[in-house]
Amino acid sequence: MIKRGVTCILIFGCIFIYSTINNCADSAWAVNAVHKGVLDSWGERAGFWGEKAGFKVNTLMASQGNLRLEDTVFQRLVHELVEGRTTALESGDVVSRSAGMGERILDNPPAMPVEPPSTAARAAVVMEASSKRVLYAKNPHMKLPMASTTKIMTAILAIELGNLDDVVTASPKAVGVEGSSIYLAKGERLTLEQLLYGLMLRSGNDAAVAIAEHIGGSVENFVKLMNRKAVQIGAGNTHFVNPHGLHDDMHYTTAYDLALISAYAMQNPVFRTIVSTKYKKIPWEGRNYDRVLQNKNALLWNYEGANGIKTGYTKISRRCLASAALRHGMQLVCVVLDCQPWFDDSAALLDYGFANFKPYTVVSKGQVLGRIPVKDGYEAQVAAVCTEEILLPVKEGEEKEISVEIKLPQHLRAPVKAGTKVGYVKVTLGDEVSIRKDLYTASDIKENTIRSNLKRIFDRWFDAGSGFQNFFDF
């Protein structure tokens, strides 16, 4: 018993000393990480390396003690860049970054820059899908009818809210819709996925109504969902009256809004698969052969990288087209409204976008953008990562105008769960583009206290389920 008591005293003492030293060390790290004097050895070299790396670092105020980080943040960034390590920024750091910090994604060199083409469209927009940056615009906010390009919203809502394997029964209301059709019969049953192909390839108005009734319970309720989604996406000058696009004076959009809706939809892999499909067979109930659907978007056959999206036509709207193409790692969408040479003009506008802009990765998926001190943690800090790529289409030389702002808390307290939202990164290019993405903790950090250490020791010391294991659960 005496030996056991001495052993316990020694263990308690060691744990106390270790915890005290560890906590002091953590505190010292937190202070030193922001204390200008620690990094003054870099001072004379800051200007030289700044020019070499292409950095501009704004004057900042540290969150702890109002310490100026005008030089220290820059020095730390340059040091980590030279060492080949992932850039780690602290709370509130703002960095203007040039070509040296980003990564260009180029499968092939871009074409030589070209002048903006003329277009017969009443309104047109070319937009990069991830950043929503507008690369070309003509009357972008003019309200116009959009015909069957309406079905882009119908499709993305059905994909998000429905189950592709759901069996949908065609109602009398769906069967009787005028215009383009996949010739549904009353009571005919198709899966939601099959109806979506009929909607987007053959532009079936009957498929649109069947989908709307299935998802919304009625066409009227589904239209409410369409308008609500438009507001969420940012398409504030769009108003839907039906799920198919047959003319109504109150059914309208703008080239900019439709580009936003198209860009949003193209982020969905199911949607991309459907709208990039050239041919599709779906069942035809009551017949001994299938429906063969051919996509009406001619660009899929004759434009390099084309992968969507949807044609539209009525006598009043005339020809409308939302198209998309992927080249050099850059996804563009193009919208033309009331455009007789819809395919030719769309191809020329897409060419302009690809020739004059190149993709520039400002932040990579999974990149560490900061390290946050963790109080009472087994580790002194936890990495903050961006779970999404931030890509910008830029003209030559625009990389220098990109600024990155990172906002993180001063500290966290253990325990910390991986995937906890802890701040954000904001990427800005002049007055044109502003992208904000949340940042998350990269790992779990367990609590490091005397109580947790004692409990851990006794958990190992005694068998599971003993009374001693629960003794320290206070």
Catalytic residue set:
148, 151, 203
CA-CA distance, 182 to 283, in Å (whole number)?
Answer: 11
Residue closest to 62 by CA, chosen among 84, 32, 85: 32
Backbone angles phi, psi at 53, to 5 degrees: -85, -15
Query: Do residues 185 and 286 make contact, with C-beta atoms less than 8 angstroms apart?
Result: yes
CA-CA distance, 92 to 139, in Å (whole number)?
Answer: 39
- Whole-number Cα distances in Å, 237 to 9, 103, 151, 254, 256: 73, 35, 17, 7, 9
Other Cβ atoms less than 10 A from the Cβ of 25: the count is: 11
Token pair listed for 338 = 């009331």
Pairing of strands 390-394, 421-429: unpaired
Which SS3 state, helix, strand or coil, does residue 404 take?
A: strand
CA-CA distance, 372 to 88, in Å (whole number)?
Answer: 10
- Whole-number Cα distances in Å, 306 to 148, 297, 309, 334, 351: 19, 10, 9, 11, 11
DSSP state of 44: G
CA-CA distance, 209 to 219, in Å (whole number)?
Answer: 7
Task: Could you list the beta-strand ranges (E) of 87-219.
Answer: 94-97, 103-104, 123-128, 134-138, 167-169, 189-191
